[in-house]
Amino acid sequence: MTVLRIVNDLSRKAQKQARSSLLDKTKIHVFGYDNINWQQKVNNVGTGHTTSMKAATHGTIYEVDPSTKLHEGPTHPVCHPQVFKDLFGEDMRHPTTTPTSLVAPEDPSLMLELRRKRDQMRKQALPAQLQPADILLGEEDDEHIVLAILSHVRKEFLQRSSSIEFDSEKQPTPEPPQVWPQMLRKTKVIPLPVLDVGEGTTKGNLEVFKQYFRFQLQIPDSFWRENVLFTSADVYSVEKLKTGQKGRQLDRSSQEFDRFSAQHPLAAPWHLLYAYMRCLFSTYGGSKENASFISFRHLSERNGFRHLLSIPHNFHDGNRFLHFWVSAASVSVVANALRKHRQPPKENDGQQDEPARRDEQDEFDDLDYDTSMRISEEAVRNMIGTGSSDMVDEHEHQDDFALQSRLMLLDIGLCIELQHAIKNGDPGRMLVAIKQLVPRFQASGQHNYVAELLDILVTIRYELPPPLRAVMLASFLVNPKGKPDTFTLIDHVQENFVFELKNSWPVGGTMKSLQYKSVIGSLLEVLANLKMGFWKDLAISGQNQEHSDKKRNATIDSLRIDFDHYAVFEWDEAGRTCDTFEVLRGDTVKENKDRLRKQGRPVGRVRQLKNVACDMFKTGMLALEGKTSATGTFQRWVRRRAAAMNKEGAASITIDDQDAVDIPDDDDDDVVDGEPFGLSVVSGNVDEFEELGNDNGI
């Protein structure tokens, strides 16, 4: 009983700490929560037993720091000013090499003024005739992405070429350009008790706030009148929260908490990584019946990832495969470019023997720094520096395999850049990558993420004052360990807590665990660290995730050999065709319809095949711009969002407007039957993130 009494005292102190920390006006806080589900056996007299699904909710308060500071030195370049301007607007102050914070902690009335400005800006209408390009296509964004992927390619090549040794101080390999790097500081994480509340409904999500902040922490009503509380939850919980906010807009209660306007819900960004992996696998996975030799299906089965495309996807296996793919592609692209550079010029047009290749480990041991930087940049720009249409125009014959491989390098490179930005604590870089992902999600049929990411980009650009933009950026990433490369997404920490509550310290299943759920929830960080300490002390390598992958080198070499053997990145001037690739999704459908019309045959049964790779960015942008009548448009999303938020001058969305999606005729030549998942519309209602259409991809 003595130990239990001590634990209970610690739990009560933790709850008092949460309240005092939240009321400290010199600190900035973010609230995150997630659902816990488990099956419980119920004994029925005379009929045996049944199982029922139980639910609970665990919340956490994060004390974040909105300060920013640029890293100094030639290794850490800074993004182009236009990239910063296109992302945040003209009134956002650029970060410097000295610590900078747009939120002055010594001004207790600042948050009240920021709250007033936020409410005012959210009521203002968005710029007239706002187009997708205004948000997604910055003038220097393409160059920024090329430099970021170039940095990753160079580092992978140098890591694989152990015989090349450059002085890291005099001959640095530049990192991706900085945008808004966070200050290196350990994030204070304050777990809260577990609630017997399910968040599957709008009422349940509102009840979570009521239980935590009104009953347990007893936060005064003045807090909700003077502050903005950024809230991180999964996309479906955010949908319910915004639905609740819409219903509370006309609340006549004297309590500000009842109006529910201080909360600023943001969709959890960690799920974005898994969703983009889905997007890559659905596009480049290849079909079982007709998978090309560069498809994920073919490469994964040859290299020990037989279940890579199994549903549901294993995030860790998929992530490892994508990193291996980029590493092998980097070595193949840069090494081939260096070999071409070293070959002597031909004196005549006669056939000459190719010089014997040196041992791969020592092939480039005499490579100088300047040549390495110059040739690698030329090679990467040749791969991803131009659009797919320009690549086709530059050659007499189209090479589908080379074109698809280069698009894969760009698309998978974006995934690597997104993870690197998160790990190193730069939410600005993360948002630049997110801008590139929006049309890719649109092309792959994941329209709920299109609406989610557009909402984030529009909010930070047009609907928040600069200090709250800095707070919003800080609300994406936390650093529980306080090390330079241990930043993580805020909802990833919450997912880990839920895992602990399901497996290591379960709160469901027995009456005893339910009785002490508040104790377990409040001390969860301590308990999780205690468990990890035991694992490390006992050398349980399979649990602490610090073991090395023994097959890493062999897998990367195997992939590289395949890339070199088939010359997948080299353009074959004679041309190569691939049945599972088209530049724009729907091109093959158009060609088949044209052929059938010439033969006088019906075209009604011609449909778009699934698992066909394409230029996702260009296909998605055409859909967002409304140039394909099989999808909704960006303008529809803007109108619906304005009506839901009751913006100034926003017209109500009527039934006629919602039904105004053009459903094309089968014989319409202007139709791109490009949606692989059926008829879909960009969802954009602020109070709901629907996944419209038959999203039955993977």
Q: What tens digit of pLDDT does each residue of 10-40 get? A: 777 777 778 888 888 888 999 999 888 777 7
- Per the CB < 8 A criterion, the answer to whether 30 and 468 are in contact is no
Q: Which of 235-249, 282-296, 453-467 has the highest mean pLDDT?
A: 453-467
User: 173-189, pLDDT tens digit by residue?
Assistant: 899 999 999 999 999 99
The CB-based long-range contact list for 497-506 (8 Å cut-off, 24+ gap) reads: 497/34, 497/58, 497/60, 497/191, 497/524, 497/525, 497/528, 498/34, 498/35, 498/36, 498/58, 500/524, 500/527, 500/528, 500/531, 501/36, 501/56, 501/58, 501/194, 502/36, 502/38, 504/528, 504/531, 506/38
User: 240-267, pLDDT tens digit by residue?
Assistant: 888 888 888 777 788 888 888 888 888 8
- Per the CB < 8 A criterion, the answer to whether 52 and 39 are in contact is yes
pLDDT of residue 600: 80
User: 377-388, pLDDT tens digit by residue?
Assistant: 999 999 998 888
Higher pLDDT, 244 or 465: 465
Check whether 476 has a pLDDT greater than 90.
yes
> What does the DSSP assignment read for 47-77?
TEEEEEEEEEEEEEEEEE---B-PPPSTTS-
User: 45-93, pLDDT tens digit by residue?
Assistant: 666 677 777 788 888 999 999 999 999 988 899 999 999 999 999 999 9
Q: How far apart are CA 103 and CA 440, in angstroms?
A: 35
Mean pLDDT of all residues in 546-566: 81
> Residue type at 569?
F
pLDDT of residue 625: 85
Mean residue pLDDT across the chain:
80
Q: How far apart are CA 661 and CA 638, in angstroms?
A: 15
Check whether 352 has a pLDDT greater than 70.
no
> What does the DSSP assignment read for 403-425?
HHHHHHHHHHHHHHHHHHHHHTT
pLDDT of residue 681: 36
Question: For the chain, what's the residue count?
Answer: 698
Higher pLDDT, 683 or 505: 505
φ and ψ at residue 191, rounded to 5 degrees: -70, 150
Mean pLDDT of all residues in 311-340: 90
pLDDT of residue 13: 74
pLDDT of residue 136: 92
Q: Which of 271-280, 360-369, 540-549, 669-678 has the lowest mean pLDDT?
A: 669-678
pLDDT of residue 628: 64
pLDDT of residue 347: 53
Helices marked H in 343-446: 369-384, 388-394, 400-423, 427-444
pLDDT of residue 360: 59
Band of residue 142 on the pLDDT scale cut at 50, 70, 90:
very high
Mean pLDDT of all residues in 213-218: 88
pLDDT of residue 166: 76
Please give the model's pTM, rounded to 2 decimal places: 0.85
Q: How far apart are CA 260 and CA 251, in angstroms?
A: 9
Check whether 147 has a pLDDT greater than 90.
yes
SS3 615: coil
Q: Which domains does the chain show, CATH number per domain?
A: 2-66+184-268+486-544 (3.30.420)
CB atoms within 10 A of CB 604: 10
pLDDT of residue 659: 44
- Per the CB < 8 A criterion, the answer to whether 383 and 569 are in contact is yes
Check whether 461 has a pLDDT greater than 70.
yes
CA dihedral 509, 510, 513, 517 (to 10 degrees): 60
> How much of the chain exceeds pLDDT 90, in percent?
27
Q: Which of 288-292, 598-602, 681-685 has the lowest mean pLDDT?
A: 681-685
pLDDT of residue 370: 87
pLDDT of residue 652: 41
Band of residue 694 on the pLDDT scale cut at 50, 70, 90:
very low
pLDDT of residue 513: 58
